[in-house]
Amino acid sequence: MSYNKSKKLFNEAQKYIPAGVNSPVRAFRGVGGTPLFIQKGAGPYLWDADGNRYVDFCASWGPLIMGHAPAGLVGKLRKDIVRGTSYGAPTAAEAELALQLSKLFPSIEKCRLVSSGTEAVMSAVRLARGFTGRQKILKIDGGYHGHVDSLLIKAGSGGATFGTPDSAGIPKELAKLTLTIPFNDVQALEAVFKKEGKSIAAFILEPVPANMGVVLPARGYLQKARAITKRYGSLLIFDEVITGCRLSAGGAQQFFSVKPDLTTLGKIIGGGFPLAAFGGSQKIMDYLAPLGPVYQAGTLSGNPVAVSASLWMLSKIKPKSFHAGLNRKAQLFFKKLQGIIDRHQYPVRLNTVGSMFTLFFTPSPVTDYASAKKADTQKYARFFHACLKQGLYTAPSQFEANFVSAAHSGQLLNQSLRKIQKALTYTF
């Protein structure tokens, strides 16, 4: 494959954009080489500026559960966009979207719409502090919740890729208000609450961490987190920016039958547009201005085009048959992939849940951030580029999730398996 146009565009972009990209992991620093500059997407495919076509397993980092540019969504937006692109005033569609989210997520009685997952998390954390009157936040090692100052402490995702999980520019005084514990460690969870419980406003976690790669919760861990936070009067925040509407229509909380106090949503609910939300009980949410003392606002919150896309997306994924079919197709793909790994004894770990997966380049089980960091990032880079040369686009980072979408056919997944096997053979 030729990447000449992508290289030229990247060189030009670096003159005007830091590192030539608007989000760090797009720069391919974790895998090396020149990032692809994408020209278009359709169904399960991406095309770059050089005309190369790829089967896309990155899915814009998770939102595209229906694939790229689904015809129904494109048709709907063509009709809607002529009525205006932004009003800065309430619309009936915003209230309808809030209603639909409350139907999908029983923990959400009221919600606020925002424009990004980071904004949703930032607002939820502020609300938790305002509601409880406490200052400290508890998170898991390697848990990534967007680039919120108080949560870029032992973060995963881009930070894990670069080996610098913390960021410059965060005051030490603020960092002291964030406590961290290993994921899946109930003893550590109990110990930190025994010591700091009365000062912890909230425990925030992805119920299935996906920004250190996909890591499953141990049996009973989420239920234990729910019980402990309730005992100490702290809020439990589920960051479902990735898992929301991905594992099931009602997210990981429906999948694992655990009800948090606050939920942050993004990615899928935006239908490919910048839209996110945070929500919880009426009692908590009514602490937001103008009803309560916790301020939160946004000029583009509830953008009419994004809301229209969201309502279309939710209508498609709401039937139980949608996730049943998607997860069944994905799990068959994962079963075949695991068979290839076992047959050839590749020293990798395949972690999966629903339609999400990560190949960790380590022979050891991956159950938390410490074990995820044992993965060989250089081998992952070799694997990534071997996939790329065969027309497979996976996440350009060892520490990210990959996704199967409704647009991936069984035949296409089987073809991809053969290419993945070749890439693994090349890697080892």
Catalytic residues: 144, 239, 267
Could you tell me where the beta strands, DSSP code E, fall in 288-327?
A: none
Token code pair at residue 22: 């608007």
Beta bridge partners of 402: 357
Beta bridge partners of 234: none
Q: Are 314 and 113 in contact (CB under 8 A)?
A: no
Q: Are 238 and 265 in contact (CB under 8 A)?
A: no
DSSP string, 86-122: --SS--HHHHHHHHHHHHH-TT-SEEEEES-HHHHHH
Neighbours of 299 (CB within 10 A): 8
Nearest alpha-carbon partner for 251 in 61, 107, 44: 107
Q: Which residues contact 234 (CB under 8 A, 6 or more apart)?
A: 132, 134, 138, 193, 197, 200, 201, 202, 203
Token code pair at residue 329: 């197709």
Neighbours of 197 (CB within 10 A): 18
Distance CA 383, CA 424 (A): 6
**Token pair 């929500």: residue:** 279
